[in-house]
């Protein structure tokens, strides 16, 4: 059991190997999470959407822990986060990658350009597409239908978890001490690490 109000840095590594299921009208898809990134809040984390304070876009990031925070990026992609702080504060864990372990056929129809099943949920936008998560799922609880998040009873051991700077984050939020990307070492569904190009 995870205390989602503990904050994103504590929650992020505990989400590795957890299974997120979305039951859509087309059927269920389940993804075993292999890669995440932690983001904190106001005035603390320059890479966070909440760094400059509450806006309509990030309202759910300030909401109840254990709920989704979804957002639109690059004019074409939806990404999904788990809210991980007490109600009224802001932190979240970006779901960056995973393995489709149930509903593979449905996930393939949602990701027809995937080169292999390994790539179906590899990368944050791909994970969201494979699961059928929409922007309108923003604020949805992960402990009740149509979602279910099951975390392992025993957390993944530290020796099996890699930790790097967050991928593709520009400015101060892409530099140390923000080594807040956690991933399962050697897992083929972990996305390729990309540092943001220097300005």
Average pLDDT over residues 164-171: 90
Higher model confidence: residue 102 or residue 155?
102
> What is the count of structural domains for the chain?
1
What CA–CA distance (Å, rounded) separates 79 from 94?
Answer: 8
Domain-embedded: residue 77:
yes
Count of CB atoms within 10 A of residue 78's CB? 18
Higher model confidence: residue 103 or residue 198?
103
Model pLDDT for residues 107-123, shown as the tens digit of each residue: 999 999 999 999 999 99
pLDDT at 158: 85
Note the pTM of the prediction, 2 decimals.
0.94
Domain-embedded: residue 39:
yes
159 has pLDDT over 90:
no
- Asked if 77 contacts 3 with a C-beta cutoff of 8 angstroms, the reply is no
Model pLDDT for residues 59-77, shown as the tens digit of each residue: 999 999 999 999 998 778 9
* H-state helical runs in the chain: 8-14, 104-110, 124-131
Mean pLDDT of the chain: 94
Provide the CATH number for the domain around residue 92. Answer: 3.10.300.10
What CA–CA distance (Å, rounded) separates 47 from 39?
Answer: 7
pLDDT at 195: 67
Domain-embedded: residue 199:
no
- Rg over CA atoms, the chain: 15
Domain-embedded: residue 133:
yes
pLDDT at 176: 85
Model pLDDT for residues 14-51, shown as the tens digit of each residue: 999 999 999 999 999 999 999 999 999 999 999 999 99
Domain-embedded: residue 156:
yes
Domain-embedded: residue 190:
no
| CA neighbor of 61 nearest in space, from 44, 36, 41 | 41
Domain-embedded: residue 189:
no
DSSP-based three-state secondary structure for 72: strand
Domain-embedded: residue 53:
yes
DSSP-based three-state secondary structure for 145: coil
Residue 146 domain boundaries: 4-184
Q: Write phi, then psi, for 125 (nearest 5 degrees).
A: -70, -35
pLDDT at 196: 57
pLDDT at 199: 45
Residue 106 confidence class, pLDDT cut points 50, 70, 90: very high
């Amino acid at each position: 059991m995870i205390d989602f109000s503990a904050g994103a840095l504590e929650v992020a590594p505990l989400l590795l190997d957890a299974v997120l299921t979305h039951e859509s009208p087309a059927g269920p898809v389940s993804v075993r999470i292999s890669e995440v990134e932690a983001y904190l809040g106001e005035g603390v984390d320059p890479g966070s959407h909440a760094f400059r304070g509450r806006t309509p876009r990030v309202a759910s990031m300030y909401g109840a822990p254990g709920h989704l925070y979804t957002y639109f990026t690059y004019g074409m992609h939806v990404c999904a986060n788990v809210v991980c702080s007490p109600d009224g504060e802001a932190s979240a864990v970006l779901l960056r990658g995973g393995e489709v372990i149930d509903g593979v056929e449905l996930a393939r129809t949602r990701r027809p350009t995937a080169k292999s099943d390994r790539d179906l949920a590899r990368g944050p936008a791909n994970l969201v597409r494979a699961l059928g998560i929409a922007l309108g799922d923003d604020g949805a609880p992960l402990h009740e239908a149509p979602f279910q998040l099951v975390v392992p009873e025993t957390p993944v051991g530290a020796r099996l978890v890699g930790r790097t700077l967050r991928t593709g984050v520009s400015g101060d939020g892409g530099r140390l001490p923000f080594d807040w990307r956690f991933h399962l070492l050697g897992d083929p569904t972990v996305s390729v690490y990309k540092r943001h190009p220097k300005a």
